[in-house]
Amino acid sequence: MENGIIFGNKIFDIVFVALFSAQLLKVLLSLFTEKKINFRRFLDTGSMPSSHTSSVVSLTTAIGIKEGIQSSIFALSVVFAVVVMYDATGVRRAAGKQATVLNKLVENIKKKEGYLMIEGNLKELLGHTPLEVLGGAILGIAVAFLMT
C-alpha cells in the first residue's frame, strides 16, 4: 500500500482518484439534469457528489485501513473530514443562498435604475445539500476500499 502509481504515495493516489471521480461524475450527471454534457461541471463547486467530501472521506478511510482506527492520525482525519462536510452543508451552502438573493437584488436594481452596477453575478453554487455530501462520502469510501 505504500507506493502509489500516480504520486508515489498510495493514500495520496486514493484521494486524487476520489476527487477526480467526483468531478467526472458531475459532468456525467449533467447529462441527466441539463440534457447535455456540461464540461464546466468538472471544475465547478457544488452539485452531486461533493468532491470535497469524497476527498476527505477517502483519506480518512485509507488512513483507517492502513494505520488502524485506533491511531492518532485516523482521529485527526475524522475530525478534519467532519469539519469539511459541515462546512460544505453549512457555511458554503448559506453563502451560495446569499449570493442568489444578492444577484436577484442587483438584477432588480439594474432593471429599475437602468444602469450596470456590478459586472457579472456572484457564484451561487458553492455548497452542498446533505444528499450531495452523502454521495461524496459513499464515493470516497468505495474508492478507498477498491484501491487498497
What 8-state DSSP symbol labels residue 42? G
Q: 20 or 28: which carries more pLDDT confidence?
A: 20
pLDDT at 51 over 60: yes
pLDDT digits (tens, 9 = 90+) for 115-132: 655 566 655 555 678 888
Cα separation, 57 vs 70, whole angstroms: 17
Total residue length of the chain: 148
Q: Is 37 exposed, middle or buried (0-12, 13-18, 19+ CB in 10 A)?
A: exposed
At residue 30, the pLDDT reads: 78
Q: pLDDT band at 23, cuts 50/70/90?
A: very high
- Per-residue pLDDT at 136: 95
Question: Higher-confidence residue: 75 or 44?
Answer: 75
pLDDT in tens, 72-114: 999 999 999 999 988 887 765 666 666 667 767 767 666 666 6
- pLDDT, residue 101, reads 73
Helix runs in 34-90, H state only: 51-67, 72-89
pTM across the whole model? 0.74
58's grid cell: 477517502
Rounded distance between C-alpha atoms, residue 16 and residue 19, angstroms: 5
Residues 103/122, Cβ–Cβ less than 8 Å: yes
From its phi and psi, is residue 72 left (phi > 0), alpha (psi between -120 and 50) or beta? Answer: alpha
Of the candidates 71, 80, 63, the one whose C-alpha atom is nearest the C-alpha of residue 9 is 63
Instruction: Say what the pLDDT of residue 31 is.
Output: 79
Q: What's the grid cell of residue 77? A: 482525519
